[in-house]
Amino acid sequence: MTLLDGKKTAADIKSEIALEVIELKNKGKKTPHLAAVIVGNDGASLTYVNAKVKACDRVGFESTLIRLPETVTEEDLLNEINILNIDTDIDGFIVQLPLPKHIDEQKILMAVHPDKDVDGFHPTNVGKLTLNLPTFISATPFGILELLERYNVETVGKHVVVIGRSNIVGRPMSILLSQKRTKGNATVTLAHSRTQNLKELTLQADIIVAAIGIPEFLKADMVKDGVTIVDVGITRIADSRKKNGYRLAGDVHFESVAKKAAFITPVPGGVGPMTIAMLLKNTLLSVKRKNS
């Protein structure tokens, strides 16, 4: 069994990005600048956004964190987005999800200029992704493609079962892996909460991407020997033995499934760190596009 080590791979990618930033600066180009907007005080969201900002520091990017109160109006949030859209120093920005219920998420994502949408959530960028045109591929599926690439996991002609049809993970992942691309050309089944014969499908899968958000959902009796497992789930589970009172669990029962897997991502330290590295990569791509 080979661990698909996202922590190490993300560190490698960040080192590569840091070198490119030095090169840009040596050529007299501007420093890449990523901004993040966060609404409210959700602990997990704040942790993620802070990690994104910290990662900017490490690769030599500039970063701006805009914190807005839970009670912010949709109009005020749209104004903030407009300011970022026209600020020529900002190369890319993200609005951390989820947003409070009184704000229309789709309206917000559509307000982000597609050229600065380093999350790849704008319909224009989703459309380009679907057509296999150059775009910002959203961080989680992009990170998974990169992990499969760097560990030489074969996808051509393989049967991939993606579990979960979310707009930010399952759906784009299923599209990307079916496309004619280096890490693609797979036969893809997109399974979800209404799928009736899931175990029948997962038992046939050469590669499983688990993104349903149910901790330890995928068990050893649901996979075949030699399977590749990509675990996107990350849920806090109460655990009194831990100092902070919780442990992190993926969508895969790691201990048992790892025994049958050829490749498997750990949680934490698998897909998670890759998403941050790919967000930085998209920001760098935004700068390169402007420079070319």
Rounded distance, CA 213 to CA 4, Å?
Answer: 20
Rounded distance, CA 184 to CA 176, Å?
Answer: 6
CB 244, min distance to ligand GUN, A: 21
Dihedral of alpha carbons 115, 116, 119, 123, sign: negative
Give whichever of 95 and 222 is closer to ligand GUN, judged by the CB atom. 95
Give whichever of 142 and 217 is closer to ligand GUN, judged by the CB atom. 142
Give whichever of 53 and 94 is closer to ligand GUN, judged by the CB atom. 94
Q: Establish whether 239 is a catalytic residue.
A: no
Dihedral of alpha carbons 268, 271, 272, 273, sign: positive
Q: Establish whether 225 is a catalytic residue.
A: no
Rounded distance, CA 98 to CA 89, Å?
Answer: 26
Residue 130: CB atoms within 10 A of its CB come to 14
Residues within the interface to ligand GUN (CB under 6 A) = 94-97, 119, 139, 168, 275
Q: Establish whether 52 is a catalytic residue.
A: yes
Closest CA to 47 of 285, 275, 286, 280: 275
Place of tokens 């707009």: 167
Give whichever of 21 and 108 is closer to ligand GUN, judged by the CB atom. 108
Give whichever of 95 and 257 is closer to ligand GUN, judged by the CB atom. 95
CB 166, min distance to ligand GUN, A: 10
Closest CB to ligand GUN belongs to which residue?
A: 97
Given the residues 5, 117, 119, 231, select the one marked as catalytic: 119
Dihedral of alpha carbons 7, 9, 14, 19, sign: positive
Given the residues 5, 14, 52, 183, select the one marked as catalytic: 52
CB 95, min distance to ligand GUN, A: 6
C-alpha distance from residue 66 to each of 48, 111, 119, 152, 215 (Å): 14, 16, 16, 39, 31
Given the residues 5, 14, 96, 251, select the one marked as catalytic: 96
CB 186, min distance to ligand GUN, A: 23
CB 15, min distance to ligand GUN, A: 22
Give the residue numbers marked as catalytic: 52, 96, 119
